[in-house]
Amino acid sequence: MKRILIIFILIIVYFNPEPSIFCQIIKREPVYFHISHHQEAVGHPSMGFPMYERFKENLLDELALLDRYDALSDQCFNDFIVSVILYMRDTGRDPDAEEIFSAFNQSGQNLGYHWHPATWEVPIRTDKVKDMELDSAIIEYEKWEAAYYDWSDFVAPDVDSSEATGWLDPGRLGGIQLMQQYFTKPLVNECMTLLHPAAAPLFRKKWPLAVGQAGNPHTYYATGSQRLLWMSDWGFSTESGIYVFKMMGLTIIRTRSESWIERIFPVDVLEQTLSNLPRDIPHLFVIHNTIPQPGHDPLEDHLEYLTKEFIPDNPGSRFISTADIPSLILNNPLQFSMEDLDEACLDLLYEWHGRPAAYVHHGNDYMSLASLFKGLQAAMQNYLSQPEGSRTWPQAVRVDDFIMPPVGRWNALPNDSRLYNGFPVSAMAAAVQDLTVENKIPYVVSIQVPGEGPSSPLQANAAEFLHGMCTLFLRLRQGSAAEQMFIMPSDIIPISNINGESSTGYDRASNSHMDWLYELELWTLEPVQLKGSDQSTVADEPQSILPQDYELKQNYPNPFNPSTSIQFKIPGGRVSIIIYDLLGRKVRNLIDEIMPSGWHEISWDGRNNSGMMVANDVYFYRMVIDQFREVKKAILIK
């Protein structure tokens, strides 16, 4: 029978030299296996860390097992575990506790940082809470973590921020810096089981910490594409094959999907799960490690099956780390044709259910709501600025790789019923023309309607205005002569399964400001697809952490007076570095020229483009070259 089948295949291939439906059916895309372990299961401190010994035993065995099979994994530790290990050493309970550090550092496995609410439950943090009672330690550690993630300015912008985060010594190390004193490998990801995963980049880009509140936040990020990788334990969407998405400029890896198992599952479950995957698309398959029961480890069976059977039989399949993700994904385009915007507008309006879906389709690609908003703004402002009767559409428009979502308090939203009573199309067009070019989405937009008076314009939240922009764009593209338009009332929060909410509404009154901020961040969400076998190259093969061609150093000194130096590394080409103030206004063009590859250094003397000294304040400097963009902050104190 087997010989007959082989002859049948050869006959079909011989008489079908061109690609055929048959060839497409037997084509199998690769499966990328991502093994991750959140290493924190030592038990509660109030019970004396009863699981510590089992934690250590499993960790040492697991590292040896993975190395024996040449398998990659991301081992995610944190400063809590560092404190526990040092505690065990210092109390004499485990004089050899530091074997954990050396075993990991000598292994072939990669390092991740696992922030988790469990890290609040530590009374032994050596540099902050070691002498506190447990309840006080939990409270203080929670404050410390909040400050570490730059949340204070949003949580309590109109009160003394010390009420929200406490005043901390800026000389103390951040959680990741402390961890990397002992786990010394380069960091490849940050695991985001915390409640508000994308809050940190928003504050890093917009609301810097007050001086004296937290120690060196965010200096742990590497350069280039690897600096913004997060791991997510949450589900996302119902679309098969979406394993990576972007939000707030972060690349986020989904680790719960139809392509996932727990380490403790028997190998038969692994085989069955793999057999159920549609093989015409690539998959990111996650093996989530936990500590198994003593005895035989199912992970060994998984590795035996994958290395001896599945991977050899499925070309391109392999073990990967999050460090490999940038080379395996197809980034969505940032340049849109008018036809792309046509499709995106139709998709958004079709999927509208009292509020927008969290992302839109155009062709085979995805687009965030923020990208659609700014793309429509650029296209229509270009079109409407031309003399009526001779207007033409631009061939394409381009948006930035990071756009600030609409940000504001939930109780500051308007509820203007006049929007769905109808108003002139010309008023909507004027409102679009009045939008500023800054790289953010407005929270509320005013629409000035003739007869309403300048003191009472129509008020639309960002989602309502985006709905109106799509309607206006499609009408202009179709040459519609309609003079009136309507905007249905809408919630500003997009619909998304990313946080497990339903589409029936959001209980904003019972949630914190940070919950509200997290919902607004969904404006920047866009799924990302994995490369297929015909889109991969030799350069996509798994690699260790490679030296980056781009790097922007923190200025030194910082704070500074009267001048500071900035070092940067580039592969060669035109590079610009610009200083901005807190409001995003350009202060000083430091450099904009073609430079050779290598390290360079430039100084800023605290003066603006007019040669005037600027005031004491927090400033941002931004480097742009090719597709690389990096922003850091500098503090001037006279």
Q: What is the 3-state secondary structure (H, E, C) of 1-36?
A: CHHHHHHHHHHHHHHCCCCCHHHHHHCCCCEEEEEE
Question: In the prediction, which pLDDT does 536 show?
Answer: 55
**Phi, psi of 215, rounded to the nearest 5 degrees:** -90, 110
**CA-based nearest residue to 286, from 185, 371, 189:** 189
Higher pLDDT, 177 or 194: 177
With a cut of 80, say whether residue 387 has pLDDT above it.
Answer: yes
What is the tens place of the pLDDT at every residue in 586-614? 889 999 888 888 889 999 999 998 889 99
Enter the tokens of residue 262: 């727990």
Question: In the prediction, which pLDDT does 430 show?
Answer: 96
Question: In the prediction, which pLDDT does 42 show?
Answer: 86
What is the tens place of the pLDDT at every residue in 253-266? 877 677 888 988 99
| % of residues, the chain, pLDDT over 90 | 34
What is the tens place of the pLDDT at every residue in 18-43? 433 333 344 689 999 999 998 888 88
CA distance 173 to 216: 7
**CA-based nearest residue to 469, from 371, 389, 605:** 371
What is the tens place of the pLDDT at every residue in 457-500? 999 999 999 999 999 999 999 998 889 999 988 989 888 765 44
Question: In the prediction, which pLDDT does 81 show?
Answer: 86
What is the tens place of the pLDDT at every residue in 331-371? 899 999 999 999 999 999 998 888 898 899 998 899 999 99
Question: In the prediction, which pLDDT does 551 show?
Answer: 86
In the chain, where are the structural domains located? 31-328, 336-507, 551-636
Given 2.60.40.4070, 2.40.40.20, 2.60.40.10, 3.40.50.2300, which CATH number is that of 551-636? 2.60.40.4070
DSSP track, 302-347: HHHHIIIIIHHHSTT-EEE-GGGHHHHEEPPPSEEEHHHHHHHHHH
Distances (CA, A) of 400 to 151, 359, 370, 542: 25, 16, 10, 29
- Which DSSP helix (H) or strand (E) runs through 375? helix 369-384
With a cut of 50, say whether residue 147 has pLDDT above it.
Answer: no
Average pLDDT, the chain: 76
- Which DSSP helix (H) or strand (E) runs through 226? none
With a cut of 90, say whether residue 411 has pLDDT above it.
Answer: no
Q: Which of 220-224, 274-278, 407-411, 501-505 has the lowest mean pLDDT?
A: 220-224
With a cut of 70, say whether residue 153 has pLDDT above it.
Answer: no
Question: In the prediction, which pLDDT does 149 show?
Answer: 41
Q: Which of 212-216, 371-375, 463-467 has the lowest mean pLDDT?
A: 212-216
Question: In the prediction, which pLDDT does 240 show?
Answer: 63
With a cut of 50, say whether residue 425 has pLDDT above it.
Answer: yes
Are the folds of 31-328 and 551-636 the same? no
Q: What CATH architecture does domain 31-328 belong to?
A: Alpha-Beta Barrel (3.20)
Q: At a CB cut-off of 8 Å and minimum separation 6, what does 273 contact?
A: 258, 259, 260, 261, 285
| % of residues, the chain, pLDDT over 70 | 71
Average pLDDT over residues 419-432: 94
With a cut of 70, say whether residue 132 has pLDDT above it.
Answer: no
Enter the tokens of residue 18: 């061109």
With a cut of 60, say whether residue 572 has pLDDT above it.
Answer: yes
Question: In the prediction, which pLDDT does 508 show?
Answer: 58
Average pLDDT over residues 428-432: 97
| Alpha carbon of residue 601 to chain centroid | 30
pLDDT grade for 270, boundaries at 50, 70 and 90? very high
Enter the tokens of residue 384: 């409407």
CA atoms within 13 A on the CB side of 606: 18
CA distance 554 to 626: 20
Asked if 555 and 568 count as a contact pair (C-beta separation under 8 A), the reply is: no
Average pLDDT over residues 79-98: 88
CA distance 516 to 407: 9
Enter the tokens of residue 366: 């995805």
CA distance 595 to 624: 13
Higher pLDDT, 151 or 8: 8
pLDDT grade for 131, boundaries at 50, 70 and 90? low
CA distance 632 to 630: 7
With a cut of 50, say whether residue 218 has pLDDT above it.
Answer: no
Whole-structure pTM over 0.85, yes or no? Answer: no
What is the tens place of the pLDDT at every residue in 431-453? 999 999 888 899 999 999 987 77
613: β partners: 607
Question: In the prediction, which pLDDT does 239 show?
Answer: 61
Question: In the prediction, which pLDDT does 631 show?
Answer: 80
Question: In the prediction, which pLDDT does 173 show?
Answer: 56
Higher pLDDT, 549 or 24: 549
User: Which runs of consecutive H residues, i.e. helices, occur in 72-174?
Assistant: 79-91, 99-106, 134-148, 152-155, 162-165
Question: In the prediction, which pLDDT does 150 show?
Answer: 36
pLDDT grade for 183, boundaries at 50, 70 and 90? very high
CA distance 533 to 529: 13
